[in-house]
Amino acid sequence: MELKVGQAKRLEGTITVPGDKSISHRALLLGSLAHGETVIENFLQGKDCLATLRCLRQLGVKIEEEGEGRLRVEGRGLGNLQEPEEVLDAGNSGTTMRLLLGVLAGNPIFAVLTGDASLRRRPMDRVTLPLKLMGAEIWGRQEGKLAPLAIRGQRKLRPLEYTSPVASAQVKSAVLLAGLYAEGETSVTEPALSRDHTERMLGYFGVPVKREGLTVRLKGRALLQGRPVRVPGDFSAAAFFLAAAAILPEGRVTVREVGLNPTRTGFLEVLEAMGARLSVEVTGEWAGEPVGNVTVESSALRGVEIGGEIIPRLIDEIPVLTVVAACAAGKTVIRGAEELRYKESDRLATMAQELGRLGAKVEVLPDGLIIHGGYPLQGSRVQSHGDHRVAMAMAVAGLVAEGETIIEGAEAIDVSFPNFPTLLATLTEEARGK
């Protein structure tokens, strides 16, 4: 599918965005392991979360769809998943495969997991290694590094004190979920704080997770109690519209009821440092997650240097941040972001290449990018590389490029934000009509 985006001067409006992807996955997973029912509202009906839903049904979990974004999950309790008859397909979703492996490690069943071509290239040893240390048996291509993977879980796992070499919420979550099946305390220490949705939701379901600095720990064999979960809007989806408002000559966007968990909102700190006008208002808490409204208005932007602990707090926003940087005066340097090479595409390479097609000046570093901002962009044909965030970032770039930008492979957007093209068209058309 192709997505065509024309240059726009104005983007204005108040919107909501679909439910958070990370929280939607976790609500399904924890709901499945809990006692009693979990009703999920504002569940993200993107392909990634639907892959988790399908896998859990294959594992015997009853999940009813009660209407738009409303699901009723009948929890099976810990260790009661059924052996699937068929291969479990995580599609394009790293979160599905890695978190599910953590859960399967503690169930005495055999399962095979696969995914699409992109997922079958992404490193799985970062979770299979600690899970094997806990007692799970896992096989896969390249010594268990790549999917398809086969796993045989154990009724009882060994607790683990794990120091992760990467700041990854998927690694942290896989080990914590497996830790639920271990007798004793399991801990994970990470090099920088990654998103903490698993810790928050475990607490909300009645399993306390203690944090000391960069270490989190939980006691295994605790009972999870099913709870209603209303999923906040996805900050990573909102970021595309916030970025567009910041870089267009006449931009002003408010996103309401969006998740404002500080482990996710590093992008706002960077926008502010670049000179963007923005305001944030926390209005409440949904299932242990802060929620509120964010407004960003157009303003003159300047380049910044980022790296270190902020990177995991804006990891999925870096593709669109490179677009903002291309529109800012001066140089932006992003370092310490090597993890982007292991996403749906190598996002350092793909963003540099595709933005380059529009005339942006981007240098690729081993662990980041240098963007020389301020060069005028020219519409062109670009590719998504099968990566939803690259597709949406390039659509935002298309708004400021002269002429028309055509994004090939735009169907990738369906994994996290199916109504993105419609919402973008609505906001720019409404603004044009004014």
Ligand X SMILES: C=C(OP(=O)(O)O)C(=O)O
Residues that are catalytic: 316
Among 32, 384, 416, 428, binds ligand X (CB under 6 A): 416
Using CB under 6 A as the binding rule, whether residue 343 contacts ligand X is answered as yes
- How many whole angstroms separate alpha carbon 105 and alpha carbon 152? 7
* 343 annotated as a binding-site residue: yes
Q: Which does 93 bind (CB under 5 to 8 A by kind): ligand X, ligand S3P, none?
A: ligand X
The minimum distance between CB 22 and ligand X, in angstroms, equals: 8
Strands (E), 42-145: 62-67, 70-74, 88-89, 110-114, 137-140
- The answer to whether residue 389 forms part of the interface with ligand X (CB under 6 A) is yes
Min separation Cβ 94 and ligand S3P, Å: 6
- Rounding to the nearest 10 degrees, give the CA dihedral for residues 19, 21, 23, 27: 90
For tokens 């009645």, the residue is 206
- List the interface residues with ligand X, window 145-204 (CB under 6 A): none
Q: Tell me if 389 is assigned to a ligand binding site.
A: yes
Which pair of tokens denotes residue 78?
A: 């810990």
Residue 428, contacted partner among ligand X, ligand S3P, none, CB below 5-8 A by kind: none
Q: What is the DSSP string of 195-252?
A: --HHHHHHHHTT---EEETTEEEEETTPPPB---EEPPB-HHHHHHHHHHHHHSTEEE
Identity of the residue numbered 198: T
**Residue 335 marked ligand-binding:** no
Instruction: Say whether 122 counts as a known binding-site residue.
Output: yes
User: Toward ligand X, which CB reaches closer, 237 or 270?
Assistant: 237
The residue among 32 and 95 lying less far from ligand X, judged by its C-beta, is 95
| Closer residue to ligand S3P, CB minimum distance, 166 or 280 | 166
Q: Where are the beta strands (DSSP E) in 233-316?
A: 250-259, 277-286, 289-297, 305-306
- For the chain, the farthest-separated pair of C-alpha atoms sits apart, in whole angstroms, at 64
Is residue 230 near ligand X by the rule CB under 6 A? no
Torsional sign, CA 332, 192, 48, 256: negative
Q: Which of residues 90-109 bind ligand X (CB under 6 A)?
A: 93-95
- The DSSP H or E segment spanning 269 is helix 266-273
* Residue 111 φ/ψ, nearest 5 degrees: -145, 150
Shortest Cβ 23–ligand S3P spacing (Å): 8
- Looking at beta carbons only, is 188 or 393 nearer to ligand X? 393
Q: Angle, nearest 10°, between helix axes 94-104 and 125-133?
A: 10
Site for ligand X in 39-68 (CB under 6 A): 48
Binding of ligand X at residue 252 (CB under 6 A)? no
Site pattern 303..322 for ligand X (x: CB under 6 A) = -------------x------
Kindly report the backbone phi and psi dihedral angles of residue 334, in degrees, each rounded to the nearest multiple of 5, phi listed first: -115, 120
What dihedral angle (degrees, nearest 10) is formed by the CA atoms of 199, 203, 206, 207?
40
Residue 234 touches which of ligand S3P, ligand X, none (Cβ within 5-8 Å per kind): none
Q: Binding residues for ligand S3P, per CB under 6 A?
A: 22, 94-95, 168-170, 173, 194-195, 315-316, 339
Give yes or no for residue 128 binding ligand X (CB under 6 A).
no
Q: In 3-state terms, what secondary structure has residue 38? A: strand
Q: 432: annotated binding-site residue?
A: no
For residue 78, the 8-state DSSP code is T
Q: Which is nearer to ligand S3P, 235 or 241 (CB)?
A: 235
21 is in an annotated binding site: yes
Sole residue written with tokens 């500080």: 262
Cβ neighbours around 85 below 10 Å, total: 6
For residues 79 and 409, which CB has a smaller minimum distance to ligand X in the complex? 409
From the CB of 236, what's the least distance to ligand X, in Å? 7
Q: In the structure encoding, which two tokens stand for residue 286, read together?
A: 């949904």
What is the closest distance, in whole angstroms, from the C-beta atom of residue 423 to ligand X in the complex? 18
Residue 168 interacts with which of ligand X, ligand S3P, none, CB < 5 to 8 Å by class: ligand S3P
Say if residue 7 carries a ligand binding annotation. no
Please give the annotated binding residues, written as ranges.
21-22, 26, 94, 122, 168, 170, 316, 343, 347, 389
Q: Per the annotation, where are the binding residues for 3-phosphoshikimate?
A: 21-22, 26, 168, 170, 316, 343
Which residues are known binding-site members for phosphoenolpyruvate? 21, 94, 122, 170, 347, 389
Residues forming contacts to ligand X in the complex (CB under 6 A) are 48, 93-95, 316, 343-344, 389, 416
